[in-house]
Amino acid sequence: MAEITASAVKELRERSGAGMMDCKKALTETGGDLEAASDWLRSKGLAAAAKKSSRTAAEGLVGVAVAGTKGVAIEVNSQTDFVAKNEIFQGFVREVTGIALEKGDDIDALKASPMAQGGTVEEVLTANIATIGENQVLRRAKAVSVSQGAVIPYVHNAAAPGLGKIGVLVALESDAGVDVLEPLGKQIAMHVAAAFPLALDENGLDQDTLERERAIATEKAAESGKPADIIAKMVEGTVRKFAKENSLLNQLFVMDGKTPVSEVVAKAAKDAGATIKLTDYVRFQLGEGIEKEESDFAAEVAATAGLTK
């Protein structure tokens, strides 16, 4: 058997854009022949999958799952919304969500986890790219848990059970029963989906975000022409308002528009004669923070046909 050198793997990767392990396997299968290995990758759809991986994937699905006192949300992206309706894609997201529920939210560990059909999550994803014909990315995952109580899931714009455009998990630490926690958690989860809090409380807000708001407020306040001490108070007031409006426990409950979420939880605890604490949440919105490419379809067709100048 021919020796597969690191330099040969590197050259094949540069030629095909395929992954290192796929390149090594291709060279092994073809006795180290670079041309034959390139053809092998193409025949398996792996080179094509690598080329597609440069395309922006901002559509897809968010998956959520819970088991007892823990839950997980994941996001798997595709290039078009059409793929989100594909049974292969939905099945992949559903299974990977289940794997994440069992093994945790570390993306590298998830990618290396075995799937029921054989192969790792990353290998099956690569095969799906070739089969479906679009770039797909396992983008992120987040797990939450409580020692006692419940984690309640909610999916907005559901494409299938547990799959949709917005996935929310709400963690309630409590000695109350599920008959109390599930309806409360569902309402809070719907609030989270609609209100888009940035943190559980003010202390959890990102400091860079607060400084950016402070800078904007300072610039606006300076235009008022008021004395420096008044401007300073105006700025701090604006930042405090921003923090209050963007921390979940301080937000006004969307169900009535007047009661802070913290008070909604306190009232539910009092009515149930139990302790209830909202300890964590997850809100994944599909494509959030991904800059979508603006494509010129006519130019893309022309380029494909070799008509570009």
**Structural domain includes residue 290:** no
Higher confidence at residue 7 or residue 54?
Answer: 7
**Structural domain includes residue 191:** yes
Q: Are residues 48 and 71 in the same domain?
A: no
Q: Are residues 115 and 194 in the same domain?
A: yes
Query: Domain of 32?
Result: 6-52
| Most confident option among 58-62, 160-164, 298-302 | 160-164
**Structural domain includes residue 308:** no
Give the residue from 51, 46, 55, 57 showing the smallest Cα distance to 24. 46
Q: Are residues 69 and 28 in the same domain?
A: no
Q: Are residues 94 and 153 in the same domain?
A: yes
174 pLDDT more than 70: yes
**Structural domain includes residue 26:** yes
Q: Are residues 278 and 178 in the same domain?
A: yes
Q: Categorize the per-residue pLDDT at 252 as very low, low, confident or very high, splitting at 50, 70 and 90.
A: very high
**What per-residue confidence (pLDDT) applies to 45?**
65
Q: Are residues 102 and 228 in the same domain?
A: no
Q: Are residues 224 and 165 in the same domain?
A: no
Q: Categorize the per-residue pLDDT at 50 as very low, low, confident or very high, splitting at 50, 70 and 90.
A: low
Q: Are residues 43 and 159 in the same domain?
A: no
Q: Are residues 28 and 116 in the same domain?
A: no
Q: Are residues 41 and 66 in the same domain?
A: no
Q: Are residues 129 and 83 in the same domain?
A: yes
Q: What is the pTM of this model?
A: 0.74
**Structural domain includes residue 179:** yes
Render pLDDT for 177-197 as a digit per residue (tens, 0 to 9). 999 999 999 999 999 999 999
